[in-house]
Each structure stands twice: as C-alpha cells, then as structure tokens.
C-alpha cells in the first residue's frame, strides 16, 4: 500500500527515491532502507524491478533521423526564404546597375500602357483618329511633308508670332488708309462739281441716302410726330440746300 511503512520507509518515500536509485544517486543508510523496503513490500518491490526494466527499454531506443527537407520546410514556413539563399553571401548576389534599375522602373510604368495599347479596340480607335486627321489635313491643303520644316524652337515661334501680329496690324492700317483716301477723293469731286438746280424733295432724299456709304443704319432725326406728311410746311426751305459730306470709317474688329 502506498501509505504503508515497512522497514522505516513509507511507499510514497520509496516512490520518490526510486528515480534517484535508478540514477545511482542514492547511497548509504537511505539506500539500505530503500532496498529493505523493496524486498518486503508487495507493491514497491515489483515496481522497482519494472521501472528498472522499463528504463532499459527506453534507453535502448535510438534517436530517429529527421527528414532531410525538414529544415528547408521550416525556414520556408517561417521566414519564407530557402536555406541555400540564406547561405549565399551578400557579395555573391548580382549587382544591379543604376541604369538597369531605371529601365526596370520605366518598364513597370510602360507595361500597363503597352498592355492597353495592344488591345484591338485601342488599335482600331487609333487608326480611325489617324485617318480622320489625315483626311482633314488633306482637305485643308496641308501637306505632312511641310510640317517637317516647321521650326519649333522658342525663338522661332516667338518670331513667327510677331510676324503674324505685324501682318494683321499692317492689314488693318492699310484698310483704314484706303477708306480715308476714298473719302477725300469723293469730297474733292463734290467740291469741283458745278452747282446744279436743286432736285425735287424726293431726289434730295434719295441722294442723301446714296451718300451714306458707311453701311450704318440711317441716323434718326428728330421728328414731330404730331405733323402729318400732307400738312402744309410753314417754313420754306432754301432753293440751294448745302451738300452734306459724311465721312465714315469702317471699323475692323
């Protein structure tokens, strides 16, 4: 029985000392008491023999060899890196030049665009746009070969701009000068023409309208809407009405 005392030693104490005895760590008086208890106790005696035998069985077991890929699998599962890769020195890794890195970086940017451009619908759209542009240019009389001679340098573009603006101003000034000359000539003709009898009121009116070459709407004259056309005119008009010269300037916007 576990709590039974035989030869000055209880079974619980025997159980605790059993490991030390098998490890050959017990000696002296305690070892003698231990052995005496084991000889007379029906439980502890067989336990000593069986524990010793079982220990021998366990010690007979050989250490097993782990699988060859175990370390590799562990490293892949933990760090995600292969063993061979870890063992490579840093210097053995291929050096990538700066230009190659830039090329790779540019490749990563261009690749998506290139993937889109390779699609048939994009090619069809591009073809249609090119055809439309070519048609529009040919209809406008622009040859593509002429575009090659266009100087796109900043100084040349600036010079072209000033030349175009100068031409526009010059054209505008020329038009103004021509109309002014015409007006002077017309005035000079009237001044040199001999006096003629005054035309009928209808002729005067028509003449007045013909003198208006400005193209502007007829100038409004103050009218007395209380008088009708058939009413008698109280004031008499002179027989030789003065010639009115109207000088107009065509406005260019």
Partner 1 sequence: MLVRRCLAGDAVAWEEIVQKYNRRIYNICYRFAGSGEDAQDLTQEVFIKMYRTLKTYDVGRGAFMTWVTTITRNLLVDHFRKSKQDRVTDSMDTAPSEHEDAMPLSEQIPDKAAPPDAHVQSRETGETVHRALQKLSPELREAVILRDLQDMDYREIAAVLKVPEGTVKSRINRGRAELARLLQRTYRQVM
By CB under 8 A, residue 200 contacts partner 1? no
Q: Give the one residue of 52, 101, 159, 205 binding partner 1; rule: CB under 8 A.
A: 52
CA dihedral 176, 180, 186, 190 (to 10 degrees): 150
Q: Is 59 in the site for partner 1 (CB under 8 A)?
A: yes
Can residue 70 be called a binding residue for partner 1 (CB under 8 A)? yes
Pick from 71, 115, 169, 244 the residue near partner 1 by CB under 8 A. 71
Q: Is 54 left (phi over 0), alpha (psi -120 to 50) or beta?
A: alpha
27-46 binders of partner 1 (CB under 8 A) = 46
By C-beta, is 88 or 132 nearer to partner 1? 88
CB of 48 to partner 1, least distance (A): 9
- Give per-residue burial for 145-181: e unless 16+ CB within 10 Å, then b: eeeeeeeeeeeeeeeeeeeeeeeeeeeeeeeeeebee
| Collapsed DSSP state (helix, strand, coil) of residue 112 | helix
Is residue 19 close enough to count as binding partner 1 by CB under 8 A?
yes
Closer of 14 and 33 to partner 1 (Cβ): 14
Q: Indicate whether 55 belongs to the interface with partner 1 (CB under 8 A).
A: yes
* Among residues 81, 123, 142, 168, the one that binds partner 1 under rule CB under 8 A: 81
Residue 208, C-beta contacts closer than 8 angstroms, at least 6 positions apart? 244
Residue 60 within binding range of partner 1, rule CB under 8 A: yes
Instruction: Indicate whether 54 belongs to the interface with partner 1 (CB under 8 A).
Output: yes
- Residue by residue, DSSP assigns 89-109 as -GGGSPPPPHHHHHHHHHHHH
Element (H, E) at 187: helix 154-192
Tallying the residues shown for the chain, one arrives at 253
Residues 83-142 that bind partner 1 (CB under 8 A): 83, 86-87
Instruction: Decide whether 36 or 43 has the Cβ nearer to partner 1.
Output: 43
Using a 10 angstrom Cβ sphere, with 0-12 exposed, 13-18 middle and 19 or more buried, the burial of residue 63 is exposed
For partner 1, which is the closer residue by CB, 77 or 109?
Answer: 77
CA angle 57, 62, 63 (to 5 degrees): 130
For 97, list phi and psi in degrees, rounded to 5: -75, 165
| Cβ-Cβ contacts under 8 Å for 182 (sequence gap 6 or more) | none
Per CB under 8 A, the list member of 11, 18, 33, 37 interacting with partner 1 is 18
Binds partner 1 (CB under 8 A): choice among 68, 77, 113, 253: 77
Which of 78, 192, 219, 236: binder of partner 1 (CB under 8 A)?
78
Q: Which residues here bind partner 1, judged by CB under 8 A? A: 15-16, 18-19, 46-47, 49-67, 70-71, 73-75, 77-79, 81, 83, 86-87
């Amino acid at each position: 029985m576990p709590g039974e005392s035989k030869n000055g030693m209880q079974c619980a104490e025997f159980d605790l000392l059993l490991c030390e005895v098998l490890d050959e760590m017990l000696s002296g008086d305690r070892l003698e008491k231990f052995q005496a208890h084991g000889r007379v106790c029906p439980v502890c005696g067989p336990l000593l023999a069986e524990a010793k035998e079982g220990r021998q069985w366990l010690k007979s077991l050989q250490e097993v060899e782990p699988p060859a890929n175990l370390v590799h699998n562990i490293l892949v599962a933990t760090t995600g890196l292969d063993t061979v890769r870890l063992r490579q020195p840093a210097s053995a890794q291929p050096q990538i030049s700066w230009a190659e890195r830039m090329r790779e970086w540019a490749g990563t940017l261009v690749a998506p665009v290139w993937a889109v451009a390779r699609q048939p619908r994009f090619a069809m759209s591009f073809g249609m746009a090119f055809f439309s542009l070519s048609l529009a240019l040919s209809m406008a009389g622009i040859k593509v070969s002429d575009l090659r001679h266009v100087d796109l340098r900043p100084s040349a573009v600036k010079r072209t701009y000033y030349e175009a603006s100068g031409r526009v101003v010059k054209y505008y000034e020329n038009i103004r000068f021509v109309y002014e000359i015409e007006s002077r000539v017309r005035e000079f003709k009237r001044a040199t023409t001999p006096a003629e009898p005054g035309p009928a009121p209808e002729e005067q009116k028509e003449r007045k309208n013909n003198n208006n070459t400005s193209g502007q709407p007829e100038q409004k004259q103050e009218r007395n809407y209380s008088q009708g056309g058939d009413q008698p005119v109280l004031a008499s008009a002179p027989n030789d009405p003065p010639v009115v010269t109207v000088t107009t300037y065509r406005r260019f916007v």
